[in-house]
Amino acid sequence: MRPVPSAPIVGPFADRLLALDLPHLDPARRRDTVEFVTRRVDSLPSVMHLGVLVIATVFRLVVATPLADRFVRLMSHLALPLLGEYVRLVRSLGYAYIWESWPDTQANGASTPEHIR
Amino acid sequence: MSGLTASMPRLDAEVLIIGSGAGGATTAALLAEAGIDVLIVEEGPWVDQGSVTPFSLEQMDQQYRAGGVTVALGLPSIAYTEGRCAGGGTEVNSGLYFRPPVDVIERWSAQHRIRDLDPDALSVIAAEIEQALTVSTVPGRTTPASEILRDGAAALGWQHNEIPRWMAYPPGGDAVTGKRQSMTRTFLPRAFAAGARMIVDCRVDRLHMAGGTGRSAAVTFADGSTGVITFRDVIVCGGAIQSPALLQRSGIHGYIGRTLAVHPTVKLSARFRDEVNVPDDVPVHQVKEFAPDLSFGGSASHPGLVALALTDHWKAFSKSVVQWRQIAIYYAAITSEGRGWVRAIPGLRDPLVTYRLSHRDRQLLRSGLARLTLLMLEADAEEVYPSFRGAPIVRNRADIASMQQAFAVSKASVMTVHLCSSVPMGELPGRSGADSFGRVHGTSNVFVNDASLLPTAPGVNPQATVMAIAIRNARHFISSRSTTDTRSTTDTRNIKGHHER
């Protein structure tokens, strides 16, 4: 069993990143997606899990400050070594889940209305 | 499934087989049919074919290790996947079949001093496999995404083929009606019919060794309880990552886990005017004009996977995501000269995996992506979205040059599904982890019989090669054992006779 569940560490950043990337994504869908992302992080192989949690802890601390939005916006655009890989991981897992679960989601996260599907 | 056995704290078997994929299932069937008492232990669950959507996240949850999120660290890191279920990778892979390449087998035999590795003998075994797995081409039309590869290659005059698959098609069936003839449908039922037993959801933590002899396996069941399985011989078939990791955890080191080989791939998504996406199947055509160095094929293109592929430059690519029905994903795969390591780390459950691409590998990936892009344009793609960070959208031939300029392997989403060579077989001192038939050097009864044994990546889908070599080694094991048993019986009689005299 994993000693450290990732939800409280990874969840807040994942939520902010998805809210920034996909502003029209329904909040309930975003919650589902964040839950999926944290579940996947929990099942990562040992070394990767450890590395992700170390980086995620740094992100979590910053996300708890008033600079959170600016930080997430900056990180979502910068391709920094390691730190950028964490953003990429969260985004990849999140997007894969969103478009597999709700394939007609638009690029801004909005649901495509039934009549134009 | 009748062969499944309940978990118990103490179990015993003549031969313990760890892993139930292409190597483990074939080995189990042959040994059980030879009258040997076989127990198969599988870390993952038993999942009936067809009960989950192929290539979906649900399948990744149930049948892949770590939900499909596994990475070999490096610059760049290479994402890889491993099956973790009854039947292993055969349950989840593309099902594309290639006979063991004769030139590769000859090279392995000569360069790695593998005794009696005869391409003709392997071809005979391959024919048996083809029959057992009903290897065949699609009876009707192939999917639109597959025909794009065919048409693009034909327009360029490049060699291309429809690759047969281990699928059974119903009469009048087509590309999407085939049933995968994976191990849970073929060799595992054969093993059960011959008396083999199997435990699923059971991880082997380590082998207990006494000198060079394996005595028992320490296991953990899904509910967290533990147990011990004693055996006479053990055959490790956990795949190219888990097999060397288990040997290392058991204190067996030697030349193990130092020469991991893979077929790295780079990808692109291409959007066409018409709907081409078939979410739960993969294209059956491949382009072999530049093989074995470079091959092109198609990937699963579930909408989630399309979105994932577009994240490399989401700002530029995102508007196309709503058109996923017109998008399919393709890859350029290379035969890599690079090598990787698998290292078990004390205190950690999973091994550390690393991989280093060579300079030539990087050049090949670059040229492969450019050529694949050209092929897509020739097949009338309206837009091509290469999978690397900051990639431009390619709409015509002139854009390919700017794409090549922007490309760096370090920015690409490199991945692989073919892993091998981490316990290479052969008789070369210091360059092989197991002997010519899979017995781990320095041990008397610990064998490996999976993709780990292949001395290098074969340049084609390795499943048939893995199965052919596993069957060859299993037959050698059975014949050696008969000889040993006959000798033991004779020895016993002799001892008995000596005492009686």
Residue A47 with chain B: CB contacts under 8 Å = 73, 345, 348, 350-352
CB-based contact B3:B191 (threshold 8 Å) = yes
How close is the nearest chain A Cα to the Cα of B469, in Å?
Answer: 29
B67 close contact with A: CB closer than 8 A: yes
Using a CB–CB cut-off of 8 Å, the residues of A that contact B are: 1, 21, 36, 39-40, 43-48, 50, 79, 85, 88-89, 91-93, 95-101, 103-107, 112
Output phi, psi for B8, to 5 deg. Answer: -140, 150
Residues of chain B predicted below pLDDT 70: 1, 484-501
Spatial CA neighbour of A33 closest among A81, A90, A83, A117: A90
- Residue A117 has a pLDDT of 52
- Residue A81 has a pLDDT of 78
Task: Suggest the residue from A24, A35, A40, A47 to mutate for an interface test with chain B (most B CBs closer than 10 A).
Answer: A47
- Residue B498 has a pLDDT of 37
Closest CB to A48: pick one of B71, B390, B411. Answer: B71
Task: Suggest the residue from A32, A52, A99 to mutate for an interface test with chain B (most B CBs closer than 10 A).
Answer: A99
How close is the nearest chain B Cα to the Cα of A59, in Å?
Answer: 21
Question: Left, alpha or beta for B288 (phi > 0: left; psi -120 to 50: alpha)?
Answer: alpha
Task: Suggest the residue from A44, A52, A95 to mutate for an interface test with chain B (most B CBs closer than 10 A).
Answer: A95
Q: How far is CA B496 from CA B117, B155, B205, B492, B500, in A?
A: 40, 77, 41, 6, 6
Which amino acid is present at B39?
Answer: L
- Residue B149 has a pLDDT of 98
B322 close contact with A: CB closer than 8 A: yes
Closest CB to A95: pick one of B56, B71, B307. Answer: B307
Please give the Cα distance from B434 to B438 (Å, whole number).
5
Q: What CATH number is given for B53-78+143-180+264-416 in this structure?
A: 3.30.410
- Residue B447 has a pLDDT of 98
- Residue A115 has a pLDDT of 54
CB-based contact B50:B492 (threshold 8 Å) = no
Closest CB to A40: pick one of B69, B350, B389. Answer: B69
- Residue B430 has a pLDDT of 87
> A32-81 pLDDT, tens per residue?
999 999 999 999 999 999 999 999 999 999 999 998 989 989 988 887 87
User: What string of H, E and C letters represents the secondary structure of B367-391?
Assistant: HHHHHHHHHHHHCCCCEEEECECCC
How close is the nearest chain B Cα to the Cα of A107, in Å?
Answer: 5
User: What string of H, E and C letters represents the secondary structure of B412-426?
Assistant: ECCEECCEECCCCEC
Token pair, residue B42, equals 């599988």
Residue A116's pLDDT band, with cuts at 50, 70 and 90, is low
On the CB side of A58, CA atoms within 13 Å amount to 12
DSSP letter for each residue of B276-296: ---TT----EEE-TTTTTEEE
Domain spans of chain B, in order of start: 9-46+85-133+181-257+420-496, 53-78+143-180+264-416
For residue B222, what is the nearest residue in chain A, using CA coordinates? Answer: A1
Q: CB–CB of A105 and B321 under 8 A?
A: yes
Residue A104 with chain B: CB contacts under 8 Å = 322
ipTM attached to this prediction: 0.93
| Mean of per-residue pLDDT scores for chain A | 91
Domain spans of chain A, in order of start: 7-101
DSSP state of B5: -
Neighbours of B393 (CB within 10 A): 16
Q: Which CATH number fits domain B9-46+85-133+181-257+420-496: 3.40.800.20, 3.40.50.720, 3.40.50.2300, 3.50.50.60?
A: 3.50.50.60
- Residue B482 has a pLDDT of 77
